[in-house]
Chains A and B, each alone.
Chain A
Amino acid sequence: MVKEIERAGIPVVHVCTVTPISMTVGANRIVPAIAIPHPLGNPALDHDEEKALRRKIVEKALKALSTPVDGQTIF
């Protein structure tokens, strides 16, 4: 899906745990996530800590979207 969104002319960031798959499928902006069952969370943390962690990843994703890239880049 990531390539078709990019092809449509919209910058896209792929937030995922298994970045090698993201590289293989051809995402250009990649932000690593926490774990497969909870990419933007960590059930071991309490609610506020977890949300802060999620906020950090989202901020990183937005930063990736504002950064020019040449080719596939893991942020």
Chain B
Amino acid sequence: MIKVVHYINQFFAQIGGEEMASYKAELRVGEVLGPGLALKAGFKGEAEIVATIVCGDSYFNENLEQAKADILEMVKSQKPDLFIAGPAFNAGRYGVACGTICAEVQEKLGIPVITGMYVENPGADMFKKDVYMISTKNSAAGMKAAVDKMVPLALKLVRKERIGTAAQEGYIPNGVRVNFFEEERGSKRAVDMLLKKLAGKEFVTEYPMPSFDRVEPNPPVKDISKAKIALVTSGGICPKGNPDHIESSNATRYGEYDITGVTDLTSDTYETAHGGYDPVYANEDADRVLPVDVLRDMEKEGKIGSLYHFFYTTTGNGTAVASAKKFADEFAPKLKADGVDAVILTST
């Protein structure tokens, strides 16, 4: 039997309205309250609500750290397989509380969580990327519809089954791209979309264009002839044999290689792990991607201060932005700590 702990606010526990919103978090073992009854009916015996936690919305938000810690302990004490909060519909503080506590339980206890709320609930924007939340109507009149979606998705999460798209499962889109098979092949969908676009009718793109974040440029290097320069590349240059097995595509790792004493990258010593471009030229002479030879010359001539003794490398071929970000988050502080003044990053 799947054990469930359910979180609701003072209102849905029928303790009271706004005047009771400062109600302190409370664990009621063996009780099923309000929306819990609908959930219980929905589970049809496949899962059991073993305890309900009731907490006032104001109490939760005004005593955030305390409330989080207390509720976490309460959940933990029940050793549940699943945690459900709400649904919160359009109740703002309740939505934020549901999102907050779901994210906390998921992270700290590692069990599946689910909540539900109206898409305009402030809690939706804050937590839709962290936890599954069913998209509900804006009032408790939508309770049945909400529970009808929460139950199957919750069971899938517990059973670690494949989760479908937002449209299929009814959760608020969380920015995670999920594959599925359409009814029609892609070319037919493109023709249909074009016909709608030509007729000025509404159409839905399958991939809304993202907005990109920006970072302010740093001030320039004052005296390049004194500067320590580091080389970084997404062109996959690595010592011959690719010792760290950097993948040719969608890399999950990067390499850090010492080039102390190396003045030229030759075909005997270096190659590329990159699978997205013709590797012949880089394998012949890796300086074509990572200009170690030229920088060594300039170092000798005093045109630059020095070339940093490590270079960092990965393959930027279909590599997830998140991975690339993670790599640089790891090595950039190292560069900073070692007094690197500037970086030349080369891409293929």
B-binding residues in A (CB < 8 A)? 1-18, 22, 24-29, 33, 36-41, 43, 50-51, 54-55, 57-58, 61-62, 65-71
Contact B297 A55 (CB under 8 A): yes
How many angstroms from the CA of A38 to the CA of B286 in the assembled complex?
A: 9
Q: Which 4 interchain pairs have the tightest Cβ spacing?
A: A41-B288, A4-B328, A8-B332, A28-B217
B345 touches A (CB below 8 Å):
yes
Q: How near does chain A come to B327, taking the closest CB pair, in angstroms?
A: 6
A11-B217, A26-B214, A57-B291 given as contacts; is B344 within 8 A of A37 (CB)? no
How many angstroms from the CA of A43 to the CA of B284 in the assembled complex?
A: 9
Listed by A's residue number, 16 A-B pairs whose Cβ atoms lie within 8 Å are A3-B213, A7-B332, A9-B336, A10-B342, A12-B218, A12-B344, A13-B342, A13-B345, A14-B347, A29-B217, A37-B348, A39-B346, A40-B290, A41-B289, A58-B298, A62-B344
B-side contacts of A33, CB under 8 Å? 346-347
Contact of B335 among A5, A39, A51, A54 (CB under 8 A): A5
B244-289 contacts to A, CB under 8 A, are: 277-282, 284-285, 287-289
B323-345 contacts to A, CB under 8 A, are: 324-325, 327-329, 332-333, 335-336, 340-345
B239 touches A (CB below 8 Å):
no
Closest to B298 in A: A58
B224 touches A (CB below 8 Å):
yes
How many angstroms from the CA of A57 to the CA of B321 in the assembled complex?
A: 26
Number of interface residues of B (CB under 8 A): 57
Q: How near does chain A come to B277, taking the closest CB pair, in angstroms?
A: 5
Contact A5 B212 (CB under 8 A): no
Contact A68 B219 (CB under 8 A): yes
Q: How near does chain B come to A15, taking the closest CB pair, in angstroms?
A: 5
Besides A8-B332, A37-B282, 14 new A-B residue pairs in contact (Cβ under 8 A), listed by A number: A3-B214, A4-B328, A5-B328, A12-B218, A16-B347, A24-B212, A33-B346, A33-B347, A37-B277, A40-B289, A41-B287, A51-B293, A61-B344, A70-B217
Contact A40 B346 (CB under 8 A): yes
A-side contacts of B143, CB under 8 Å? none
Contact B215 A3 (CB under 8 A): yes
Q: How near does chain B come to A72, taking the closest CB pair, in angstroms?
A: 8
Q: How near does chain B come to A20, taking the closest CB pair, in angstroms?
A: 12
Q: How near does chain A come to B157, taking the closest CB pair, in angstroms?
A: 32
B220 touches A (CB below 8 Å):
yes
How many angstroms from the CA of A43 to the CA of B285 in the assembled complex?
A: 9
Contact of A38 among B288, B314, B343 (CB under 8 A): B288
Contact A8 B335 (CB under 8 A): yes
Contact B345 A14 (CB under 8 A): yes
Q: How near does chain B come to A29, taking the closest CB pair, in angstroms?
A: 7
B304 touches A (CB below 8 Å):
yes
A-side contacts of B344, CB under 8 Å? 12-13, 15, 58, 61-62, 65
A-side contacts of B221, CB under 8 Å? 11, 65-66
B33 touches A (CB below 8 Å):
no
Closest to B343 in A: A12
B192-225 contacts to A, CB under 8 A, are: 212-222, 224
Q: How near does chain B come to A37, taking the closest CB pair, in angstroms?
A: 5
B235 touches A (CB below 8 Å):
yes
Contact A26 B224 (CB under 8 A): no
Contact A5 B343 (CB under 8 A): yes
B295 touches A (CB below 8 Å):
yes
Contact of B345 among A5, A40, A69 (CB under 8 A): A5
